[in-house]
Structure formats: structure tokens, C-alpha cells
Amino acid sequence: MRTQIITPKGTAQYPKLRSPEFFDGAEVGYTIQMAFNKEDTEKLLAKLEEELEAAKNASEFKGKKWTNARLGSREDKNGDIVFKFKTKTSYTSKTGEVKQRTIPIFDAKGNPIKGDIGHGSVCRVRFTVSPYHKSAVNCGLTLYLDAVQCIEYKEPGGFNASAFGFDKEEGYDVTKTECIPVPFDAEEEEAEF
């Protein structure tokens, strides 16, 4: 049985949980990249190293060479470790039927979220560790995305005012404005020209 792990809280980078990520025109699938604080990153890397060692000793990989095995992570331009969790957008059932996959996303209280989440959201990810070995240099662990819990929500693709250099000011506040709906069938007087 494959190991399932729930990450600590971290910052989501470029989540694609409702529409797939594409790379060079090919569909990658549903993905989310996560960055954690230094201590949590080290703990997660240590756990993944244990999983890799267990895979190396598994009967299905007996006698295989593991050169530069990947742990489902990479180093970003700042030298921080970022983990990538992914899964295909569809799967084939036992009956041979192709079914669309939906990634379960929950809020901090465990309520389902129907839409997507944005870059910078604080999340936890449940994933399944899956070792692979295609060759001595193409081997390691895939971190299969199972579900996401969003602790602090950021709007998908949304920008906030501070990203453009705006400070908070006194004045109009959209959150305090009530919208008065106007029915579509309201009679309008025709203007004469």
C-alpha cells in the first residue's frame, strides 16, 4: 500500500485544481506547488527520503540503480525548496469507463469549496507517495495530489491593491455598499431622439 501524507500548512504557488496545467502544449494535470517554512521543509524531505529508501528495497525495484532520484521537489531561484503535487484530470474505472477526476478542496472548517483557490493561499495537501523507476537517472517519487484544505483563501488570478503599490485610504469601501437589484423586466421609458 502506498503511503498517504498530510503536509503542514504552507503557501500555495500556481494552483491548478479546477483546470489542468499545460506544459509545452501537453496536459500535465491538476497541480499545486507548495512552499513550507524551513523546519517543515526539512521534516517533509526526511519523510520522503525514508519513502525513497523503502522503495529502493522493495521487491519490484530490487537491483535497480537510483542515480539522482527525485523527491517531487525542486529548488526555486531564491534557494527555497518547493514541492509539486499532481494528478491526472481523468482516470479509467475498473469497468473501462473514463471518468473525470475532481480534486476535493475544503475550507479551514472542512466545508467543500466548489471553485479554485489562488496563488498565495495558505493550504495543507494530502498526497500519496508513489515511487517510479524508468531508468537510473529518471527515478524517484511522484507526489500524487489527493485533496487540499485551504486555511487562508486568496482569490484565483486576483491581485490586491498593495501588489500595485496602493495603500489603504479613507473613502469608498465596496464591502460596505449594498447593491440594489434592478429587475430585468422593469418598464423603461423610451427616450425620444
pLDDT band at 188 (very low <50, low <70, confident <90, very high): very low
Q: Domains in the chain, start-ordered, CATH in brackets?
A: 4-158 (2.40.50.140)
Pairing mode of beta strands 81-87, 73-75: antiparallel
The model scores a pTM over 0.75:
yes
3-state SS, residue 164: helix
Answer yes or no: is pLDDT of 139 > 60: yes
pLDDT score, position 72: 95
Q: What is the pLDDT of residues 79-132, one digit of tens each?
A: 999 999 999 999 999 999 999 999 999 999 999 999 999 999 999 999 999 999
- Per-residue pLDDT of 56-67, as tens digits, reads 999 999 889 998
Q: Which has the higher per-residue pLDDT, 157 or 6? A: 6
Compute the mean pLDDT over every residue in the chain, rounded to the nearest whole number. Answer: 87
Output the DSSP codes for 70-95.
Answer: B-SEEE-TTS-EEEEEEE-SEEE-TT
pLDDT at 50 over 60: yes
Cβ-proximal residues to 37 (8 Å cutoff; 6+ apart), any chain: 8, 10
CA-to-CA dists, residue 110 to 33, 60, 115, 124, 149, angstroms: 21, 38, 15, 12, 7
Torsional sign, CA 91, 69, 43, 151: negative
Contacts of 93 (CB under 8 A, 6+ apart): 99
Contact 64, 51 (CB under 8 A): no
Please name the helix (run of DSSP H) or strand (run of DSSP E) that holds residue 56, with its range, or none: helix 38-56
Report d(CA 60, CA 30) in Å as an integer. 28
The amino acid occupying position 79 is G
Q: Which of 23, 7, 41, 19 is nearest to 118 (CA)?
A: 19
Residue type, 93: S
The confidence score (pLDDT) of residue 189 equals 46
